[in-house]
Structure 1
Amino acid sequence: MRTDLRLVAPAGLCWLVAALLVRSPSVVAVGVAVTAIVLAGVLAGVRWSRRLMVRHVVLLALCVGAVAASCAWRVAQVESSPLADLAQKRAIVVAETQVVLDAREFSRFGATSSVAGLRVDRVTAHGRTISMGDRVTAFLDGPADGLVIGRRLVVTARLTPSEDPRESAVLNVIERGEVVDAATWWEGSERLRQAIRDAVSHRSPEEAALVPALVAGDDAALPEQVEEDFRRTGLTHLLAVSGTNLTIVLAVVLALAKAARASPRVLLAVGLLGVVGFVLLARPEPSVLRAAAMGVVGLAALGYGGRGGLRALSVAVVVLLFIDPWLSTAVGFTLSVCATAGILVAAPPLTARLSAWMPRWAALSIAVPLSAQLAVTPTIAAFSGEVSIVAVAANLAAGPVVAPATVAGLFAGLTTLVWPFGGRLLGTVAGLCAGWIVRVARWASGLDGAAVAWDAQWWLLLPVVPVVAWAFWRWAHRPVVVIGLAVGLGIALWRPPSPGWPPDGWVAAACDVGQGDAMVLRTGDDSALVVDVGPDSAAVDRCLRSLGVRHLHGVVLTHDHADHVDGFDGAVRGRGSPPVLVGTSGEAPPGYVERTVATGDVLEVGPWRLEVLWPPPGERVESAEPEGAAANDASVTMMASAHAMSMLLTGDLEPDGQEALLRTGADVTADVLKMPHHGSGRQSERFFEAVSPRIATISVGADNDYGHPAAGALELLEDVGARWWRTDRDGHVVLVVRDGRLSVATR
C-alpha cells in the first residue's frame, strides 16, 4: 500500500509559516493570512478548480491561512496587552490569577523558591482595574505548596518584561494571599496525582520520581542525574507525557471495556472519556495536547495502517498549530512529530524485511525504536550537539517494562484513594519496573560510546539519515549482516576504538566534564587520585573509564560547589570507597571517610607528593552568596609533584584567595597550572607571575553562560609564556612524561 503524502506538504508549510510568524509582528501574520485566503478563494472560483493539482493548492492555502490567522491573533494579544506596558515600567500591581502550570521548587541564594505558570484574570495598578487573560511566569519565595493547576490566588508583584514572546510579563511576587481550591475536576486530578506519589513513596528516590513521570508527566522530583542519563541514552521521551502514554492507558481502558462485552458505541464513549481523563491527569499543557493528538494518530495507524496514520499525523500537526502556533518552535513538538513519522513510514517495511528470518514480534521491537531514533537524530543533534549511539539498545532494554510501570502506577494511584496498603503493593510493582528503566539508563549512559559529539551543522544529517535507513533496510533480510552490525556496535559502545589512548606515560588528565573541574592524578596502572569530580556523574565516569582507572586512592573535593562535587557518584562507581579529602568548604557524602586538610599538610599517594598550600585551618565556610566567593577562596590548593614535574591545583581560587596565598610565602612556582575558576576574568596578575607555568589546563564547558575563559585570563597566560589547552575545544587534556620530557595529548 502506497503512503498517502497529500497532506504532508500543507502540514510542513504550516509548520514553517507558524515558526516564522510567531517571531514576527502581528501585521505580518495578518498579511500572510489574507493573502493565503484570497488565493484559495480565487483558485476555487476558476474553471479548472476541479483539477487535482488546483484542489491541492487550495487546500494548502486554506491551511496556511488558518494557521497564519491564529498566529496574528495570538501575537496581537501579547503586543496589545496592557500588562506588557506595565512591565516596561516595572510597576507594582495586585493581580488575580489562576495557576495554569504546576509550580516547581528550586534553590536560589540558599533559599527555597518556586516558579509557576499563571493566567492573570484581573490586575489593579495605579487605582485602575483591568480584565485580561494573559499568560505569565511568576517567581515566588518559599515552597510550592498548593500551587497546582486550576487553583486561584491574589498576589502583589512587581512586573518585569518577559523574554518569552508568548508571555506579556514576568511576575516577581512580593506577597501572596491564600490559595483557593480549583474546580472539582482539577481537585480530583490533583488527588489522584498525589495518590500516585504516595503509592511509590516507599521506593528509592529515583523510582518514586520516575513512576509519576511515566504515568502523568509529573517529573518535578526527578534527580538531575537521572534526567541526564535519560537524555544521553535516548530515553528522554519517557520523562515527558507522550502519545505512547496515552496509547497505553487507552489500550488498558478499552481492553477492560471489551472484557465487559461493551458495544462499539460504548467503546467509543469509553475511549473519549479515557482521553479526557488522561488530559485532566497529565494537565492540558501544549505537550499533553500534543500527546493526545499523537496518541490518536497511533490508534489511527493501528486501524488503517501507515497510509492512514501519516494522513492523520498531518491533520494533527495542522490542528495543533492552529490551536497553539508556539508549538512550531517547541523541541518536544518536533521530536514527537519526527518520531511518529519515522515509525509510520520506516517501521512497516523494516519489520517486513526483518521478519524474513526472525519472529515478527522481535522484528517489530527492533524496527520501531530504530525508525524513531533515526527520525529524531537531526533534531537531537541540533539541540544537544550529540548523536546518541546507544539509544536503540536502551529503548529495547527498557521498552518491555514501560507499559507495566505505567499501568501499575496508574492503578496504584486509583487503589490508594480507597485502600492505601493495596496501592503500596501495586506501587511496589511499578517501582520495580521503574527501577529497571533507571538502571538501564545509568548503565547505558556510562558506556564510553553512548553518544558522540556532533560538531558539524545539524542539517548535514538530513541526507545522511535516509541513506543510513535505506542501507539498513537493503541488507536487513540478511541475518549475518544484522548480527554483525549489532556485535560491532556493542563492542564500540563498550569500548570505542581509540588507538593510542590513553597515551603511554600519561601522568595526569583534565577531564572534559562540561562546566566544572575533574583532574585525575595517575597513581598506578589502573588507579588514580581524583581532584574534584565535575557536575555530571556520567561525564567523569566516562573519562575514568577511558583512562582505564578502576580503583581510586582518594577523592579531593576542593570546595562545595555543584560543578566540582555533583559528579561524585560517577567517580566512585565500581571503584571502591575511597577516602574523601575536604578543606574548610565542603564535606564528604554520607558513608565515606572524611579527612579535613589545611595548609602545611603533606600527602604521599603513589608517586605523587601533595603539599596543601591553602586554606589555613579554620571554621567551615558556608557560602550562600550569589557568586559563592567565600567558598571559592576557601578552595583546597595543592602543589602536586611527581615524575620531575610539578602542578599547581587551584580549585576556584579568586584574586583575594590568590593574594592571600602569596602572602603566606609559599612557593607556588609550577610547570603546570590548573587554571583557577575555569579561567574567569577575576585573576591576580601577581599570582600568575609567581606561578610562571609552562602549561595551563582550562576546564570549561562549551558555550557556557559565564564567558569562561575570559580574554583577560588568557592574556595573563600569554604574558608569562604559558601554552594552554581547554576542555571545551580539546576534550580530555592529558599530561605525558616520556624520557623526562613533559608533553600534552588530547582526545
Structure 2
Amino acid sequence: MRPGSRRAAGVVGGATPPGAAAADGSSGRPVGDSQPRQEGPLDLRLVPPALAAWGTAALALDAPPRWVIAAVVVCVVVAGALLVTWTVRGQLTGEGAGSGQGRGRRATRRPSWRRVSVAAALLCAAAGGASAALHGADLHRGPVPELAREYAHAEVEVEVTSDPRLTRPRVTGAHAVPPSVMLDAEIVRVTSAEGKTAVTRTPALLFAEDGGGDGDGDEGSGDAPARDAPAHEDPAYEDPAREDSAEPWPKERWLGLLPSTRLRFRADLAPPLPQSDRVAAVVRVAGGQAPRVIEAPSGPQRLAGRLRSGLREATNGLPPDARALLPGLVVGDTSRVPPDLEEAFRATDLTHLLAVSGANLTIVLALLIGPPGLAQRAERRGIAPRLGVSLRATALIGGVLTLGFVIVCRPDPSVLRAAACGLVALLALGTGRRRSLLPALATAVLLLVLYDPWLARSPGFLLSVLATGALLTLSPQWSAALQRRGVPPRLAEALAAAGAAQAVCAPVVAVLAARVSLVAVPSNLLAQVAVAPATVLGFATLAMAPLAMPVAKVFAWCAGWPVAWIADIARTGAALPGSGVDWPGGWHGGLLLALATVGVVLVGRRLLRYPWLSAACALLLLLAIVQPAPLTRVIAGWPPLGWRFAMCDVGQGDATVLAAGDGAGVVVDAGPDPVLVDRCLSSLGVTRVPLVVLTHFHADHVAGLPGVLRGRSVGAIQTTGYQEPPEQARFVREQAAAHRIPVSRAVAGERRRAGGGVLDWQVLWPGAEGPGAVSAPEGPNDASVTLLVRARGVTLLLLGDLEPPAQRALSRTPAVAALPPVDVLKVAHHGSAYQDPGLLRRTAPRLALISCGRGNSYGHPAPRTVAALRAGGAEVLRTDTSGAIAVIGPPGGSAAGSADEKTPTLRVATRPP
C-alpha cells in the first residue's frame, strides 16, 4: 500500500476487506464513488448570509454614508438581540430537561437555531455594508475627485494595479479608431497646478496614447490589426533611473508595464463615465512626455511577468488563432485576441474561456490528485499518489499551486473568483462528495464580496456564481434523469452541465446583450473536448518556457491543435445564420427569458419520455440554427432564385455581392464588421469569391475583410490606388499577405468577367493619367472605385463614396456620357446629402439602394437625397429599414450586354434585420 493510502482507503483497524471501498455514513455509498449522489438534503445554511452580504454590498457602494451606518447599527443590534435570546432560551431549556427527554429537547431547540441563522445573515449584511462603504469612500476621498470634475492638469504618481491592455478598435465611419493602452492604477500622490501636494489611495483608469514607433504592431496575424503585447519583459525595470527620457513612450513600452510599478508624469484628469463606478478619475498621460519609473515592480510580479512573456514567446510560431488564444486560456492574457474572434466567442457564449476560469485550475488539480471518484481511495490516480505523496501533502501542494495561479494570472477580481471556484473543486476532489460544495461556494462568495465589494455589481461574478451553483445543484439531477432514459453517463454529464449552466446564465446574458444564443450549448459541448488537453499543455508550456524554450515550443505546438479546435468552434458557431435571436434587453427581458426557460425545462422533461419526438425537436432546432439554403429559400424566400446582386446589411458601411455562378460571388466592399459580412455571404451560399473589390480604404468598407476571407476561396483583391488612410491600406495588405492573395489596382477602362460570362463589369473611376497611374483626388471618398456591372440583362452602377466634385467629373467621362439609364444605382456615401443632381438625372435609376446603419449618428440617408431619387422615378430601398436586399432579374435573363432586354423586369427580395 502506498504511503498515506491507509487513511485514503478508509481502513479502520483492518475491518475493511481488501479491495472494498469504505462507505460514507451519510449516503450509504462508497467514499469516492465515481457517481456520487446528493447526500441528503442540500445544506443551505450559509446561503442566506452570503446573499445578505452580497445584496447589502451592492446597495451600499454608492449609498449615503449615514444610511449605511444606520443600517449596519440596526443589523448588529437586532442580531445581538437574537443571539442573546437564543443563548438564554438554550440555558433555560438545558436546565429543565431530564435525561430521558433528549429527543424533546432537540425538538424544542431546533426552532431557536433559526434565530441564529437570521442573526448570521444580519451580521454578514452589516459586514458587507461596512466593507462596501469603506471601498466606496475611496472614490470621494482626497483631492483627486474634485480635480477630475474640474478637468485639471496635475502631476500624479500612480501604482499600476493591472496588466496593460489595448482598447478595442472601433470603426467610426471613415476611420478605425486606433487602440490606446488602458490600465488600472491607484493614484498615490497628486500635485495640482497650484503646487499643492497630497498623498492618497484613489483608484483611477489610466489611458496612454502611442507615443512613437511604426504602429504596425504584430504583423501577420491574419485576423485584425495587431493587438499584441511585447514578447519579453521591459529591460528598463532593471534600472528605473533609465526611464528619465524625454522621448514619448511607444505603445510597446506601455504594454510592458507590470503591476506594482510606480510611475510619475503630468496628466489630464477627467471624471469617469457614469457606468465606471470602480474609479474616481480618468487619467490621460499628457502628450509629448515619457513617464518616470519611480519604483520597479515587486519580485513576484516580475517572476509572473517572465512566465507570461515566456508563454507568449513560445506561442509565436503558432497559427494566428492558436497563437492568440493559448495565453488567454492559460493565464487570461487576451492581448493578442483580435476583435472578430472575441465577438465570435461572445456570440457562442464561450467568453468564459477567454477569461481566467476556475476550470483551468480544476484541470491542473485533477491532474495532480486524480479523478474525483478516487480521491479518498487507495486506488486513486494522479501525479501525487503515483509519487507516493500523502493526501495532506497533496492538499498542501494544491494550495501552493492555487497561490501560484493567483500570482501568475494577477490577483484581480476575476482571478480571485476563479481561484475560489478552483478551491471549491479542490474540496470536491478531496472528499468525493457533493453535499459540502454548496456551503463551500457560499463561503467563497461571502469572503470575496467582503474582500472586494465591487464584485457584488459585477455581471461576470454573478454569471460565475450562477454557473457554479447550477453545476452543483441542477446538473447532477439532470444527468441522472438523462441516464435513466438511456443516455450514456459521460454524454449525460456533459449535456446536463452545459444545459444547466446555460439555463441559469441565459437570462443574465439577455439583460446585458439583448440577445439569446442558440448555439451556446452545442458550442460549449464541442469546445469542452479540447479544453482539458489545451489547458494541461498550456501550463506545461508556461512552466518550461523559462527553463527550456525549445521544449516549451514543442508543448505549445501540441497545444495549438486543441486551441485551434476551440477557435474553429467559436467562428463556425458565430457564422451560422441562426446562431442567435434578438431578445428584449433589460430586466424585463431577463425575467421573460427566465420564465421561457422554466417552460422549456418543464416541456423538455415530458419530451424525454418520447425519444422520436425529442429527436424531431432537436432536428428542428438544428435546422433553425444552420438554415440550409434550400430550406430557407422555401420558408423565408432567401436567398431568392435568380438573384443578380445583393446588398448586405452590415450596419453603417457597404458590402455588395454580385452573383457569379453557383456558390460564387464577386464582393464589392466588406463593411465594418467581419461577423456580419460573413453571415451575409453564408446566407447567400457564397463559398467562392473570384474577386474582392475594395472601393476605398475607409474602415466602414474594409474592416470586415477577414469575414470575407474566412473559409472561402478568394482569387484576388482589387483596390483603389489612393492609399489613404494609410493604416487601413496596410491592414488590407496584411490580410492579403496572410492569406496569400494577390492585390492589384483598379484602373479606369478595365473590363472583367466572371461566372462564365454571366457577370461582367467595367471600371469607370478613378480616372487614369497613364498606365497604372491614378490622379490625385481630394480625399479617399473621391478615389472610390466606381463600377458599371451587367448581370444577365440588369445593369448596376456602384458609386462607392464619391463626393459631388468626383461625381461631376465622372459624369463628364466618355463612358458615362454615353451611358443609358441604369436599372439599379448603389447611392454614393450611404445616401448622404452631398450628391450631384446631374449624375442622378443622367443615370435615372429605376431602383436606388442605400446601405446605412440603424440609428446612425450621421443622419444617413439624407431626406433630400431620398426625395430627389423618388422625384426621378426611382424606388428607394435602404438596409436600415429593409435589412439585406437582393435584386432579381427576369426569369432566364438574356446574356449580359444584349440589346433585346432594354427594360428587364426587376423584382426585389429583402431579409429583415
TM-score under structure 1 length normalisation: 0.89
1:55 to 1:693, Cα distance in 2 relative to 1, 3 A: farther
- The whole-number CA distance in structure 2 between the counterparts of 1:115 and 1:410 is 27
In the alignment, which residue of structure 2 is the partner of 1:235? 350
In the alignment, which residue of structure 1 is the partner of 2:481? 353
In the alignment, which residue of structure 2 is the partner of 1:626? none
- The whole-number CA distance in structure 1 between the counterparts of 2:687 and 2:325 is 30
In the alignment, which residue of structure 1 is the partner of 2:187? 120
In the alignment, which residue of structure 1 is the partner of 2:471? 343
What is the deviation of 1:16? 4.5
Greater relative contact order: 1 or 2 (C-alpha under 8 angstroms, separation 6 or more)?
Answer: 2
In the alignment, which residue of structure 1 is the partner of 2:99? none
Candidates 719, 731, 735, aligned match of 2:887: 735
In the alignment, which residue of structure 2 is the partner of 1:191? 306
- Partner SS state of residue 176, structure 1: coil
- Partner SS state of residue 438, structure 2: helix
- The Cα offsets for residues 418-440 of structure 1, whole Å up to 9 and x where unpaired, read as 22222222222222221222223
Question: Which region of structure 1 is more displaced relative to structure 2, 153-162 or 562-571?
Answer: 562-571
Question: Which region of structure 1 is more displaced relative to structure 2, 398-407 or 663-672?
Answer: 663-672
Q: How many residues align?
A: 738
- The whole-number CA distance in structure 1 between the counterparts of 2:472 and 2:545 is 38
What is the deviation of 1:452? 2.8
- The Cα offsets for residues 574-612 of structure 1, whole Å up to 9 and x where unpaired, read as 543323221124456122233322444444444445343
In the alignment, which residue of structure 1 is the partner of 2:258? 148
The 8 Å contact of residues 152 and 181 in structure 1, kept in 2 or not, is answered as yes
In the alignment, which residue of structure 1 is the partner of 2:373? none
In the alignment, which residue of structure 1 is the partner of 2:644? 507
1:475 to 1:565, Cα distance in 2 relative to 1, 3 A: same
What is the deviation of 1:83? 0.9
Tell me if 1:541 matches 2:678: yes
- The whole-number CA distance in structure 1 between the counterparts of 2:561 and 2:285 is 41
Give % identity: 36
The 8 Å contact of residues 159 and 262 in structure 2, kept in 1 or not, is answered as yes
- The whole-number CA distance in structure 2 between the counterparts of 1:599 and 1:17 is 69
In the alignment, which residue of structure 2 is the partner of 1:176? 290
- The whole-number CA distance in structure 2 between the counterparts of 1:311 and 1:643 is 71
Question: Which region of structure 1 is more displaced relative to structure 2, 106-115 or 711-720?
Answer: 106-115
In the alignment, which residue of structure 1 is the partner of 2:512? 383
Matches within 5 A, 1:555-634: 555-584=692-721, 585=723, 586=729, 589-590=736-737, 591-605=740-754, 606-608=757-759, 610-617=761-768, 630-634=779-783
In the alignment, which residue of structure 2 is the partner of 1:399? 528
What is the deviation of 1:215? 0.9
Tell me if 1:426 matches 2:555: yes
What is the deviation of 1:347? 0.9
The 8 Å contact of residues 83 and 168 in structure 1, kept in 2 or not, is answered as yes
- The Cα offsets for residues 81-137 of structure 1, whole Å up to 9 and x where unpaired, read as 311211223322222222111112467988774222222211222322211112222
What is the deviation of 1:326? 2.3
The 8 Å contact of residues 807 and 839 in structure 2, kept in 1 or not, is answered as no
1:634 to 1:271, Cα distance in 2 relative to 1, 3 A: same
In the alignment, which residue of structure 2 is the partner of 1:167? 279
The 8 Å contact of residues 533 and 565 in structure 1, kept in 2 or not, is answered as yes
- Partner SS state of residue 220, structure 1: coil
Matches within 5 A, 1:91-490: 91-105=152-166, 113-125=180-192, 126-140=194-208, 141=210, 142-145=250-253, 146-163=256-273, 164-174=276-286, 175-179=289-293, 180-254=295-369, 255-301=382-428, 303=431, 305-356=433-484, 357-455=486-584, 457-476=589-608, 480=612, 483-490=615-622
- The whole-number CA distance in structure 2 between the counterparts of 1:686 and 1:260 is 84
Question: Which region of structure 1 is more displaced relative to structure 2, 46-55 or 327-336?
Answer: 46-55
- The whole-number CA distance in structure 2 between the counterparts of 1:68 and 1:352 is 41
In the alignment, which residue of structure 2 is the partner of 1:84? 145
Matches within 5 A, 1:665-676: 666=816, 672-676=824-828
- The whole-number CA distance in structure 2 between the counterparts of 1:515 and 1:306 is 51
Question: Which region of structure 1 is more displaced relative to structure 2, 246-255 or 413-422?
Answer: 246-255
The 8 Å contact of residues 503 and 736 in structure 1, kept in 2 or not, is answered as yes
In the alignment, which residue of structure 1 is the partner of 2:911? 746
What is the deviation of 1:633? 3.6
- The whole-number CA distance in structure 1 between the counterparts of 2:146 and 2:811 is 53
- The whole-number CA distance in structure 2 between the counterparts of 1:651 and 1:459 is 45
- The whole-number CA distance in structure 2 between the counterparts of 1:220 and 1:39 is 50
- The whole-number CA distance in structure 1 between the counterparts of 2:56 and 2:784 is 52
What is the deviation of 1:361? 1.9
1:554 to 1:14, Cα distance in 2 relative to 1, 3 A: same
- The whole-number CA distance in structure 2 between the counterparts of 1:160 and 1:455 is 34
Q: Give the letter for the 1:735 counterpart.
A: V
The 8 Å contact of residues 378 and 459 in structure 1, kept in 2 or not, is answered as yes
- The whole-number CA distance in structure 1 between the counterparts of 2:207 and 2:812 is 44
- The whole-number CA distance in structure 1 between the counterparts of 2:823 and 2:753 is 19
Q: Give the letter for the 1:717 counterpart.
A: V
The 8 Å contact of residues 507 and 736 in structure 1, kept in 2 or not, is answered as yes
- The whole-number CA distance in structure 1 between the counterparts of 2:682 and 2:42 is 46
Q: Give the letter for the 1:116 counterpart.
A: L
- The Cα offsets for residues 3-61 of structure 1, whole Å up to 9 and x where unpaired, read as 34455455455545444444555555445444444444455555789645544443333
Tell me if 1:651 matches 2:800: yes
What is the deviation of 1:707? 1.9
The 8 Å contact of residues 533 and 566 in structure 1, kept in 2 or not, is answered as yes
The 8 Å contact of residues 3 and 306 in structure 1, kept in 2 or not, is answered as no
In the alignment, which residue of structure 1 is the partner of 2:237? none
- The whole-number CA distance in structure 2 between the counterparts of 1:69 and 1:725 is 59
Matches within 5 A, 1:58-77: 58-77=119-138
- The whole-number CA distance in structure 1 between the counterparts of 2:614 and 2:279 is 50
The 8 Å contact of residues 29 and 71 in structure 1, kept in 2 or not, is answered as no
1:694 to 1:321, Cα distance in 2 relative to 1, 3 A: farther
1:325 to 1:304, Cα distance in 2 relative to 1, 3 A: farther
Matches within 5 A, 1:17-56: 17-22=56-61, 24-44=63-83, 51=112, 53-56=114-117
1:541 to 1:503, Cα distance in 2 relative to 1, 3 A: same
The 8 Å contact of residues 869 and 876 in structure 2, kept in 1 or not, is answered as no
Q: Which runs of 5+ in 2 are unaligned?
A: 1-39, 91-110, 170-174, 211-249, 370-381, 724-728, 892-904
- Partner SS state of residue 138, structure 1: strand
1:723 to 1:253, Cα distance in 2 relative to 1, 3 A: farther
What is the deviation of 1:178? 4.5
Indicate the RMSD between aligned Cα atoms, in angstroms.
Answer: 3.4
Q: Give the letter for the 2:161 counterpart.
A: V
- The whole-number CA distance in structure 2 between the counterparts of 1:687 and 1:317 is 69
1:641 to 1:437, Cα distance in 2 relative to 1, 3 A: same
1:641 to 1:425, Cα distance in 2 relative to 1, 3 A: closer
- The whole-number CA distance in structure 2 between the counterparts of 1:192 and 1:428 is 18
What is the deviation of 1:389? 2.0
- The Cα offsets for residues 649-698 of structure 1, whole Å up to 9 and x where unpaired, read as 33344566556656769569755443544456x63474796566665444
What is the deviation of 1:293? 1.7
